[in-house]
Structures are given as structure tokens and as C-alpha cells.
Amino acid sequence: MEVSKSVIRRLPRYYRALGDLLKKDYSKISSKELSNIMGLTASQIRQDLNCFGGFGQQGYGYSVKELYQEIGEILGINKPLKTILIGTGNLGKTIAEHIEFSYNGFELIGLFDNNDRVIGQKIANLEIMDINNIKKFCIENKPSVAVLCIPKKAAENIAPILINSGVKGFWNFSHYNLVLYYDDVIVENVHLDDSLMALAFGVNSKINK
Amino acid sequence: MEVSKSVIRRLPRYYRALGDLLKKDYSKISSKELSNIMGLTASQIRQDLNCFGGFGQQGYGYSVKELYQEIGEILGINKPLKTILIGTGNLGKTIAEHIEFSYNGFELIGLFDNNDRVIGQKIANLEIMDINNIKKFCIENKPSVAVLCIPKKAAENIAPILINSGVKGFWNFSHYNLVLYYDDVIVENVHLDDSLMALAFGVNSKINK
């Protein structure tokens, strides 16, 4: 099934909004109501959901629970992906502790660092392992996703090892532009610095207007 | 000056790439070389930079330092924006400590929390203040940017207070959709959960293909 990237981008927002509605005991919702909550037009919402076969019924709306489960299935949240995290500095540590991996369809199975002082310590119930053992670990445990919380150069060095060991997806906090060099991997970049700079630009434009 | 959002999105990448080149003592660079580094076409790069007046010279290329400074100025990185951060849990703490605010055009001047156990503690050389004092602080210190590391409901409650006190931009880690309710603010959303879900979708599609 080929679905446009912008629809996929919106699916987590649908999933989140529907999860909120479930918690508030909503059983059904119209595209109009959903559009108010999400800030999209009702026709946009109908279009988006039609991409996946359209679960709504004319004059009734959508079953919140069914739609929630269906989107969860589409996102693959019900079958957690084995995931490793590399780099347990400030950022990596927070990511490991803070993000609810299991809620989002991932299972964190290994942490790696190259710093002797942290190897052996525990974060999120996992012991930090030596980066030198990562190849062996990947071959034995077959993680399909790696979270990169390391500098650009380190990411560049570790990427081929991971990809050759079967890693298919990257949650990339490093500034290494993976997709430039590997075209057969799925990459989600989180460039916090870039986001900050875009904000600076926006606010400065506003102030100086 | 009206510049398209996608060009603005790319500016931080240019800025970063040029900063790397400066460190490596490059003095000039052609659009071709820059295109190899950045994974954009040379014509795309010329087009992007033309939006800002075009600093290149035919047959010479771009002066790395001038272009770096020029883009820095466009991004407004040289005049730091007064910034406060709200919510000093795991995520907020890391953001405060980890992100080089000053490097990106921001100056962190205040931290706030509603938890009595952390109020008074120090992070990043700043004492955590009581959220109840935020209005007074904003009126006296005039921050123009707020970083929201708080739950959705808390963000909903604090937003009008901040906006009425002159905050113009938000770095929003909460799930509160500010732009739905306020149309005169600049918002950069960082939804880590959404990014993870999009990754899950991509990897699952790949595995099940």
C-alpha cells in the first residue's frame, strides 16, 4: 500500500487525538468534530482516512476505538520493534528514560557507549554495554532499529556496522545525514538545533517587522 | 522579506555545513561542492541562496565565512532572544543543560516548575523558580521565547499568560497545539512521540514488504 508521506506524518496525530477521546469515553466521532480537535478540515480528514480503506459510516461517523486500533495497526505499534540506543550522554540518557518506547511500537533491548566510566551502569533497567561488542550483539539479537545519540563522526563510523547487521531504521539525533549515503534505510531525523534556529528566524522576523 | 518555509527550513543546514567548513579552514566553496556535502542539487543551492540576495560570484563560488555570517544574521543568531523554560522534569532538564541555547540565538534567563521539591534547585546555572511567579517575571524581564516541557493541560493553562506577557515564540515539546488557538505566535513543535511513530510505520512497511 502506497500512502503519501504527509498522510503518514498526520497518522500519529490522529492516533494521539483518538487516544485522548478514548480516555474521555467517546465511542464515536464525526469528521467535523475530529476536524475541530485537530485543526484540519473535515474533508481533509475524510480524505486521509480513506487512504486506508475508510472506516467511517455515513451519518454515524467513526468508531473511536476501531479507528484508534486500526491506525495503531497501520503504524505497527502493536508489534514492538527491537531497538538499540547508542550514546548514553545527557541526551541519550533522557531519551532512554523518558520516551515510552513500548507505547510507540518499540522495545528497547540494548544500550551502548564507548565511555569506560558508564559501561556497566544501568539506565531504564538495561545495562550499558561496550560499543565494541555491538556487532556481536546485533547478530545475536537482531535489532531492527537504532537510536543515534552520538556525534556526527561517531555516527558515520557506526552506521555501516549497524546496517550490515540488519538494522533497518534509525532515529537519528546526530548530524550525520544517513540518507545521503544509504538509500535502503528508514531515517527519522530529530535535529533539535535546526528546530531552534528556525524558531529564532521566525521570532526575529516578527520582532523586526 | 518573504521567504518560503522550505528555504528557511534548509537555512540551519546551510549554517551547520558552512560552520563545519570554516572549522576545516575552507575559505571558498562552489555550489557544486556544497551540493555534494548537503545532498541537494547545485541549482537548488543557487536558488536558495538567491532568495537572500545571492552572495556567490560567478567562477569563484561562495566565501564560506561571509555566507556563514550572512546566514547567521538572517537566522538572527547574533542577537540572542531572551528565553524561559517551563517544566524541569527529565526532558526539560536535559533541554536546559544539553542544548547550546547561546549558539543558536537564544539566551536562557529563567526556569520554572510547579513542583515544590525542585523549586530553588539549580540547572544550567539558573535557579528553578515557582511557576506562580512567572507573570511577574515576564513583565519585568520581557522574554520573547518560551520552551514548553510540560503536559498538554499545563501548556493550555500557561499559554495565555505567556502570550499576554509578550512571549512571541514557543519551542513546544508539549502536545498542546498552540497554533490552533493563537494565530499570532511562532511555534516550533518537537513531537518526539510522533517522530517515533512515523519511524515505526516506515520500518514496519519495509519489513512486511
Cα dist from A32 to A44, B102, B138, B179, whole Å = 10, 44, 38, 19
Question: Which three cell numbers, joined as nine digits, stand for A124?
Answer: 531504564
* Cβ within 8 Å of residue A11, ≥6 positions away: A71, A74, A75, B197, B198, B201
Whole-number pLDDT of residue A97? 83
Q: Does A6 touch chain B (CB under 8 A)?
A: no
Q: Does B94 touch chain A (CB under 8 A)?
A: yes
**Tens of each residue's pLDDT in chain A, 209 residues:** 567 777 887 888 898 899 889 988 999 888 888 898 888 888 888 888 887 765 666 667 888 998 888 888 888 777 789 999 999 987 898 888 877 777 778 999 999 999 999 999 999 899 999 999 999 999 999 999 999 999 999 999 999 999 999 999 999 999 898 988 998 899 999 988 888 888 888 888 888 76
Q: Does B101 touch chain A (CB under 8 A)?
A: yes
Asked whether the beta carbons of residue A75 and residue B144 sit closer than 8 angstroms, the reply is no
Asked whether the beta carbons of residue A74 and residue B200 sit closer than 8 angstroms, the reply is no
Residue B144: strand, helix, or coil:
coil
Q: Does B30 touch chain A (CB under 8 A)?
A: no
> Residues of B61-80 as b/e, b for ≥16 C-beta within 10 angstroms?
bbbbeebbbbbbebbbbeeb
Q: List residues bridging with A63 in a β-sheet.
A: A28
> Residues of A12-43 as b/e, b for ≥16 C-beta within 10 angstroms?
bbbbbbbeebeeeeeebbebebbbebbebeee
Asked whether the beta carbons of residue B180 and residue A97 sit closer than 8 angstroms, the reply is no
ipTM of the complex: 0.76
CA A47, chain centre distance (Å): 24
Which residues of chain A make contact with B203, given a CB cutoff of 8 A? 76, 81, 144-145, 168-169, 186
Closest partner residue to A11 among B188, B195, B201, by Cβ? B201
Closest partner residue to B203 among A16, A39, A145, by Cβ? A145
Q: List residues bridging with B84 in a β-sheet.
A: B110, B146
Angle at A189 between CA A188 and CA A195, to 5 degrees: 135
Name which of B70, B191, B203, B205 to mutate to probe chain A: the one with the most chain A Cβ atoms within 10 A of its Cβ: B203
Whole-number pLDDT of residue A74? 82
Nearest chain A Cα to B204, which residue? Answer: A76
Question: Which three cell numbers, joined as nine digits, stand for A138?
Answer: 546485533
Tens of pLDDT, residue by residue over B46-61, are 888 887 765 666 667 8
Question: Which three cell numbers, joined as nine digits, stand for B101?
Answer: 541555547
Cα distance between the two ends of chain B: 46
Which residues of chain A make contact with B145, given a CB cutoff of 8 A? 199, 203
Q: How many angstroms separate the CA atoms of A119 and B187, rounded?
A: 38
- The packing angle between helices B5-23 and B31-38, to 10°, is 100
Whole-number pLDDT of residue B90? 79
Cα dist from B82 to A61, B69, B86, B101, B142, whole Å = 46, 21, 14, 10, 7
Closest partner residue to A168 among B81, B91, B206, by Cβ? B206
Asked whether the beta carbons of residue B168 and residue A206 sit closer than 8 angstroms, the reply is yes
Closest partner residue to B207 among A11, A106, A168, by Cβ? A168
Q: Does B27 touch chain A (CB under 8 A)?
A: no
Tens of pLDDT, residue by residue over A93-137, are 888 887 777 777 899 999 999 999 999 999 989 999 999 999 999
**What is the reported pTM?**
0.74
Q: Does A151 touch chain B (CB under 8 A)?
A: no
Asked whether the beta carbons of residue A99 and residue B193 sit closer than 8 angstroms, the reply is yes
